[in-house]
Amino acid sequence: MKYILAATVGAVLALATPVRSAADTVTLDGYFKDPVYAEITSINTNYKEITTSRPQQVCRMENVPVYGKVKGQGASGLDVLGGAILGGLFGKAITDKDEGAAAGAVIGGVVAAEAGRADRTEIVGYTQKETCSTQYIERVQTVVDNYTIYYEWEGQYGSAVVDKRYNIGDPVAVMVIITMLSGQ
User: Each residue's pLDDT tens digit in the chain (184 positions)?
Assistant: 444 333 334 333 333 344 344 445 556 555 666 778 999 999 999 999 999 999 999 999 999 998 888 776 666 666 666 776 777 776 767 777 777 767 776 777 677 666 666 677 888 889 999 999 999 999 999 999 999 999 999 998 999 999 999 999 999 998 877 677 776 6
pLDDT at residue 32, rounded to an integer: 60
Q: Please name every residue paired with 70 in a beta bridge, in sequence order, or none if there are none.
A: 120
pLDDT at residue 75, rounded to an integer: 66
Upper half-sphere CA count for residue 58 (Cβ side, 13 Å): 7
Cβ-contact 104, 60 below 8 angstroms: no
Domain residue limits, the chain: 53-136
pLDDT at residue 92, rounded to an integer: 67
Cβ-contact 181, 10 below 8 angstroms: yes
**181: which DSSP letter?**
P
pLDDT at residue 61, rounded to an integer: 92
- State the burial class of residue 6 (Cβ atoms within 10 Å of its Cβ: 0-12, 13-18, 19+): middle
Using alpha carbons, select from 121, 103, 105 the residue that is nearest to residue 113: 105
**102 Cα distance to chain centroid:** 73
Using alpha carbons, select from 144, 176, 147, 143 the residue that is nearest to residue 40: 147
pLDDT at residue 7, rounded to an integer: 36
pLDDT at residue 2, rounded to an integer: 41
What are the E-state strand segments in the chain?
Answer: 36-70, 120-153, 156-162, 171-174
Is residue 1 within a helix (H) or strand (E), and if so which, with residue range? none
DSSP letters spanning 103-123: HHHHHHHHHHHHHHHS-EEEE
